[in-house]
Amino acid sequence: MSDFLRINRDGGVAIVTIDNPPVNALSFHLREPLMQALVELRDDASVAAVVIVCAGRTFVAGADITEFGKPVQQPDLRAIVATLESITKSTVAAIHGTALGGGLELALGCHFRVADTGAKLGLPEVKLGLLPGGGGTVRLPRLVGALKALKMIVSGAPISATEAHAAGLVDAVFEGDLTTHAVNFARELARKGGPFTPVRDRDDGLKETDLAALDAEAADLARKARGLDAPIACALSVRNAVTLPFDPALAAERALFVKLVGSDQSRAQRHLFFAEREAAKISAKDVVKRRIARIGVIGAGTMGGGIAMAFANGGYPVTLLETSHEALQRGLATIDKNYSVSVTRGSLTEDAKRQRLAQFTGSTDYADLADCDLIVEAVFEDMAVKKEVFGKLEAVAKPGAILATNTSYLDIDEIAASTSRPQDVVGLHFFSPANVMKLLEIVRAQRTAPDALATVVDLARRIGKVAVVVGVCHGFVGNRMLAARGSESEALLLEGATPRQIDQVFTDFGWPMGPFQMGDLAGLDIGWRNRKAQGLTAVIADTLCEQGRFGQKTGKGFYLYENGSRTPVPDPQVEALIRAEADEKGIAPRAISAEEIIERTLYPLINEGAKILEEGIAARASDIDIVWVNGYGFPVGKGGPMFWAGLEGAGKIIERLEYWHQRTGKDVFKPAPLLKTMAETGSWEAGATV
Ligand code: T1G
């Protein structure tokens, strides 16, 4: 038969077992034998029912994403589902793990679906810049209704077996041996006899469709799409399921899919799918990871509290240490408040909140960290303070405990060298709020032991973080590139651009917000403190801070925030301040184009990324993309700065960088040699391995 599929008989029930590790993706080498098996069983009179089940950890998790962009090899999924629906005897999909994308569409080709209690079902194609291309947008509404189908397909979020059962997507949910339950379910159907109605001919979910409500929901989702095409296509295809007969709706779905699969946006989002998995792979063969049972966090401020929550949310007990009882109580109270907000929003139950709070042990005594396997310091961003903390850890941390610093730009090699155990020292650069932001830059110091590194990379995945291993330099990857991106901000303002204009260019590009609105959100005083620590100035931002204009938290920054509103309102006072500074410097205002703003912000960003690759601070260009998409909101439809450089054209970027370098003399515009390699070869040379 096939290495990827086998057929067993249990009386009159044929059990088709798919076995294509790791996730039973519908690769061509599976589709071919699957099609043959379905035709054979359809025509075999001794077969009374067909059950499709999967070996391994999950039901089919989708089409094989590696096949996209290549010529389609028949049979494709649509042909398989059509053959499945031509079977008149009962067909049952037995779902465990995650039935996603083409996997759920395969299951929708069956008359019935049963699932085990832990199963999840979803159509996440939108996250790849696609829409379900195997009939999902036309069949799912027929079972669960158009509105629920719309929300599932545009969000891409899976639902539980219980929710799927309640919605009519799944016909039964079982505990225990799913295959046996599925076979008995199928046998009972066969005993009762058909005919069995294929999903394509069912309309129970479509009968009461409120088209106005559907259109309203679709319009709301479109507003949130931020320039992405796939969510719009998904909504249109679900609407077609309501307004068109099945076959024309299916044909329209196919046309939309073909358009999306060839688009730059989908290529960008598929790039990110694999890049995220690559980033977690480090060259640490045969390394035994250390056991992590208990976490210590030093500092219960914004970062320390968020980091402690991130570990508690991941199920780890946390000892949270502060210098005083008052500071500790303040930190614990903030944590409690954060969980209460989640409960109010409905994203956390009261019980879960209690469970998470029970994970915390507060202390003001370093000795209480003695049983911790990983200790993360999140104290004031000052080298002397960090070294003092590590000095104390020398005395209490047990052998083999990993000692991590949350510094956002200090030299971790210097911190490690101040201890007697540099092999245990690593950087864990969380992004604020640490309990929410997915990105975790794992900073490998020169003497970080391979097993320590492998341990924290694995731990990051366990607490739901997207880990990228980076090397030591000022600002590592993200913040170093952020400095390059912002290096011209003040010059652009002084030369005539307004904060609103620059921010608008960024949001038009697809960023959630521009740099000035972001600065007001984060607090301008943070950058002000960093600049002062480094002896740097930014005349406009410094002046705003001197006036106490820190941003949203003070009601004004680059923008005004009236009556506690979070909506930025341009402030004539700020524009007057900018003009006054420009006049003092003899800079006459001029019209500045959107293209110029892109060239003086995003091109230096890419150029710094190229330098980071050359220095081996990042191992792959795709790692840099993962940092920027998960840590700074780089639009997923553009794949990250390094992927986007390929779309924009490295040659064009070099030419414009050279122009601005010649005009300003600034190093940030001096094209990195690797950028030239990219222009010549079309791909980024991997930098040294971190
Ligand atoms: N195709 C190819 N490879 C895949 C894959 C897929 N669909 N899903 C996972 N992999 C690889 C992954 O790269 C990794 O490889 C390994 O499997 C383990 O994955 C026609 C068009 C199922 C929840 O979007 O969400 O169907 O790094 O590390 O954390 O309408 O994988 O080991 O070499 O993620 O346990 C729709 C994508 C496709 C689901 C498991 N389906 N996958 O998570 O393991 S488009 C998806 C996932 C489609 C149809 C449309 C997750 C998972 P390597 P992993 P995991």
pLDDT score for 284: 67
- Report the amino acid identity of residue 612: I
**Nearest alpha carbon, ligand 1 atom 13:** 274
Ligand 1 centroid distance, CA of 496 (Å): 48
Mutation to probe ligand 1, out of 4, 54, 60, 65 (largest number of atoms < 8 A from CB): 65
Catalytic site residue from 125, 217, 253, 441: 125
**Rounded percentage of the chain residues whose pLDDT exceeds 90:** 90
What confidence category does residue 687 fall into, taking pLDDT thresholds of 50, 70 and 90?
A: very low
Distance CA 688, CA 606 (A): 18
223 and 80 share one domain = yes
**Nearest alpha carbon, ligand 1 atom 10:** 23
**For 13-114, where are the alpha helices, taking DSSP H only?**
28-42, 77-85, 102-108
Atom of ligand 1 nearest to the CA of 63: 26
240 and 122 share one domain = yes
Q: What is the mean pLDDT of residues 380-409?
A: 94
464 and 509 share one domain = no
Is 519 part of any domain?
yes
For residue 249, the surrounding DSSP H or E stretch is helix 246-261
Q: What is the CATH number of the domain that holds 548?
A: 1.10.1040.50
Cβ-defined contacts of 335-339 (< 8 Å, 24+): 335/300, 335/305, 335/308, 335/309, 335/360, 338/305, 338/309, 338/435, 339/309
Angle between helix 478-486 and 621-631 (nearest 10): 80
Ligand 1 centroid distance, CA of 613 (Å): 27
**Nearest alpha carbon, ligand 1 atom 49:** 102
When mean pLDDT is compared across 93-102, 277-286, 307-316, 329-338, the lowest value belongs to 277-286
Is 56 part of any domain?
yes
pLDDT for residue 486 is more than 70:
yes
Atom of ligand 1 nearest to the CA of 123: 36
Q: 281-319: per-residue pLDDT in tens?
A: 877 667 899 999 999 999 999 999 999 999 999 999 999
pLDDT score for 690: 41
Catalytic site residue from 85, 105, 217, 599: 105
Q: How many CB atoms lie within 10 A of CB 556?
A: 22
Out of 240, 262, 284, pick the residue that ends a domain: 262
Q: What angle do CA 633, 634, 638 make, to 5 degrees?
A: 145
Burial class (CB in 10 A: 0-12, 13-18, 19+), 12: middle
The question of whether 208 is a catalytic residue gets the answer no
Is 331 part of any domain?
yes
Q: What is the mean pLDDT of residues 551-571?
A: 93
Report yes or no: 140 and 234 within 8 Å, Cβ to Cβ: no
Atom of ligand 1 nearest to the CA of 130: 21
Ligand 1 centroid distance, CA of 63 (Å): 9
Is 647 part of any domain?
no
Q: How many CB atoms lie within 10 A of CB 273?
A: 15
542 and 578 share one domain = yes
502 and 463 share one domain = no
Is 621 part of any domain?
no
Ligand 1 centroid distance, CA of 411 (Å): 37
Report yes or no: 487 and 604 within 8 Å, Cβ to Cβ: yes
Residue span of the structural domain in which 79 resides: 5-262
514 and 552 share one domain = yes
Is 456 part of any domain?
yes
Atom of ligand 1 nearest to the CA of 156: 24
71 and 216 share one domain = yes
How many alpha carbons lie under 13 Å from residue 207 in its C-beta half-sphere?
5
**Nearest alpha carbon, ligand 1 atom 51:** 61
Ligand 1 centroid distance, CA of 250 (Å): 24
When mean pLDDT is compared across 232-241, 280-289, 410-419, the lowest value belongs to 280-289
pLDDT score for 37: 97
Distance CA 550, CA 541 (A): 9
pLDDT score for 282: 79
- The model carries a pTM of 0.93
Query: Which two tokens mark 208?
Result: 């009461």
pLDDT for residue 688 is more than 50:
no
314 and 420 share one domain = yes
Atom of ligand 1 nearest to the CA of 58: 22
Ligand 1 centroid distance, CA of 626 (Å): 17
Distance CA 648, CA 652 (A): 7
Ligand 1 centroid distance, CA of 440 (Å): 22
Mutation to probe ligand 1, out of 4, 23, 29, 95 (largest number of atoms < 8 A from CB): 23
Is 101 part of any domain?
yes
Q: What is the CATH number of the domain that holds 434?
A: 3.40.50.720
**Nearest alpha carbon, ligand 1 atom 40:** 23
Q: 118-135: per-residue pLDDT in tens?
A: 999 999 999 999 999 999
384 and 435 share one domain = yes
pLDDT for residue 689 is more than 50:
no
Q: What is the CATH number of the domain that holds 167?
A: 3.90.226.10
Number of compact structural domains in the chain? 3
Atom of ligand 1 nearest to the CA of 281: 27
Which residues have CB under 6 Å of ligand 1? 22-23, 25, 58, 61-66, 77, 98, 100-102, 105, 124-125, 128, 130, 132-134, 136, 274, 277
The question of whether 125 is a catalytic residue gets the answer yes
Ligand 1 centroid distance, CA of 268 (Å): 16
Out of 441, 474, 507, pick the residue that ends a domain: 474
**Rounded percentage of the chain residues whose pLDDT exceeds 70:** 99
Query: For residue 430, what are the CA distances in angstroms to 297, 310, 319, 332?
Result: 13, 10, 18, 19
554 and 438 share one domain = no
Kindly report the average pLDDT of the chain as a whole number: 95
Out of 534, 556, 585, pick the residue that ends a domain: 585
